[in-house]
Structure 1
Amino acid sequence: MPFAFVLPASREYIDATGAPHSRPVDADRGAALLRSDYERWSRWGLGLLAFLLAGLGLFVALGMIGTIAMLGGVSGVLDVVIIVVAAALAAVGVAVLVALSRSGRRILRAASSRLRSPYTHGGRQRRPAGWIQARSVNFEPRVFARITTASLALLLGVAGVSLVIRDIVAEWTSVSAAVGAVGLLALISGCGQLGGVLRLVSALSEGDPLWARIRSGFRR
């Protein structure tokens, strides 16, 4: 079965995001379906594979170009072939990451609307259990896996940018641009993945009476 960035069952909920009149039970059903779509292991695994392809492709392609520039020319046809193949892998990886990001935002926007709807339009009362749910979701395996890979990507991104800054101050090397590109990719990927988790947690926090009270205080 081919991979789908958005499952067919989710599309009707995405197309009808702004439905505040929905009954709480309908909103819960839609939110659960959309969450299961977004949190699929296949999405996480594909994103990890795409990141590895993009990172490896960028590093090899830019590293080869930097080395060729320092040596003063191409040593053979093999160098060109390696650069082209690596660039193609990087392009495919980045394209998949972009598609995952765009589809993920669509799914989470619809899920967030339905997670909030019972409290904002459905008359459901906020309860202390909402405080626990908004925090315990971070330890659910599919969410925790995304937090872990996002954190590792951010660490890799910071390390890459730091090395580039060091090379700018000290001495530019043949792989400095490659390291910088991979670091930038890691920062963007980490922020995107962590942003999705934060959007989910924010929507679940709608059922937290403490957070609702604090938020209303800021709005005064």
Structure 2
Amino acid sequence: MGFAFILPTSRRLLAGRDLAAEGRADTAARAAALRHDYERWSRWLLGLVAFVVTIVAGFVATGMVAIIAAFDSISTVDLVVVCAAAIVCVAGGTTLVVLWRSGRVLARAASTGLRAVYGGEDLSPSFWRWARVRLVHGEPRVLARLISGTLALLLAVGGFALVVRDLAAGASLFTLPTLLVAVCSALSGVGQIGGVMRIVQGMSAGDPVYARRHRR
């Protein structure tokens, strides 16, 4: 079976999202299935590969353009390299966008289900209820996304810092390629961490501390 951005079972669950007509156990099963689909290792690995391909190809394409512009000379080989790198960059970027859009759908639906499940629990003080929301960050599938998202944001910060330095000292051949890498990294990092935060937000409905604060 080939890769699917959203599994067929999740599509069926998304097509019939009537939480009011479901029992608590059905809602919990739906939320768990959607969350599992969102957190699949295959989605994370595809995103990692697509990210690396996008920034490398984008760096090559924009770098070649900068070199051609600086030396005011272009050969057939240069044109072929730029076109090939640009095509690969667009393909990788498109994959990242589709991953983000499908992930947003899954994470939103899972978060809604989790809020419905955990929000209906007894919210009296409990260490387990308090810890459950916080321990989710240590789950391997979630932790991997937090690490890769954080590294992408660090790469973005470093890239933007280099761009600012170049603009202050005078643009170089690496200014445009570095800017592209920084922008892609920032978007990737925000997308990954934002998805995790949606899941955590849904689970936080069962956190007595969170619930007490939002009732005030």
Aligned AA (1:151): T
Tell me the equivalent position of 2:177. 178
Contact 1:67 1:175 in 2 (8 A): no
Contact 1:154 1:186 in 2 (8 A): yes
Aligned AA (1:17): R
Tell me the equivalent position of 2:121. 124
Aligned AA (1:101): W
Contact 1:10 1:34 in 2 (8 A): yes
How far apart, CA to CA, are the structure 1 residues paired with 2:122 and 2:17?
22
Contact 2:118 2:203 in 1 (8 A): no
TM-score normalised per structure 2: 0.96
Contact 1:134 1:205 in 2 (8 A): yes
How far apart, CA to CA, are the structure 1 residues paired with 2:89 and 2:18?
37
Percentage of pairs with the same residue: 42
Tell me the equivalent position of 1:193. 192
Tell me the equivalent position of 1:202. 201
TM-score normalised per structure 1: 0.94
Aligned AA (1:126): L
Tell me the equivalent position of 2:103. 104
The alignment status of 1:42 with 2:42, answered yes or no, reads yes
**Structure 1 stretch 9-18 or stretch 29-38: which is displaced more?**
9-18
Q: Report the 3-state secondary structure (helix = DSSP H, G, I; strand = E; otherwise coil) of the residue aligned with 1:20.
A: helix
Quote the offset at 1:110 in angstroms.
Answer: 1.1
Change (3 A) 1:119 1:39: closer
Q: What are the Cα deviations for residues 98-148 of structure 1, in whole angstroms up to 9, with x where unaligned?
A: 00000001111111111111344xx43235222211110100000000000
Tell me the equivalent position of 1:154. 153
Tell me the equivalent position of 2:65. 65
Q: What are the Cα deviations for residues 62-84 of structure 1, in whole angstroms up to 9, with x where unaligned?
A: 0000011111121x211111101
How far apart, CA to CA, are the structure 2 residues paired with 1:198 and 1:118?
17
Contact 2:107 2:198 in 1 (8 A): yes
How far apart, CA to CA, are the structure 2 residues paired with 1:204 and 1:6?
22
Tell me the equivalent position of 1:88. 87
Tell me the equivalent position of 2:32. 32
Aligned alpha-carbon RMSD (Å): 1.2
Tell me the equivalent position of 1:142. 141
Q: What are the Cα deviations for residues 141-160 of structure 1, in whole angstroms up to 9, with x where unaligned?
A: 00000000000000000111
Q: What are the Cα deviations for residues 26-60 of structure 1, in whole angstroms up to 9, with x where unaligned?
A: 11111111111011000000000000111011100
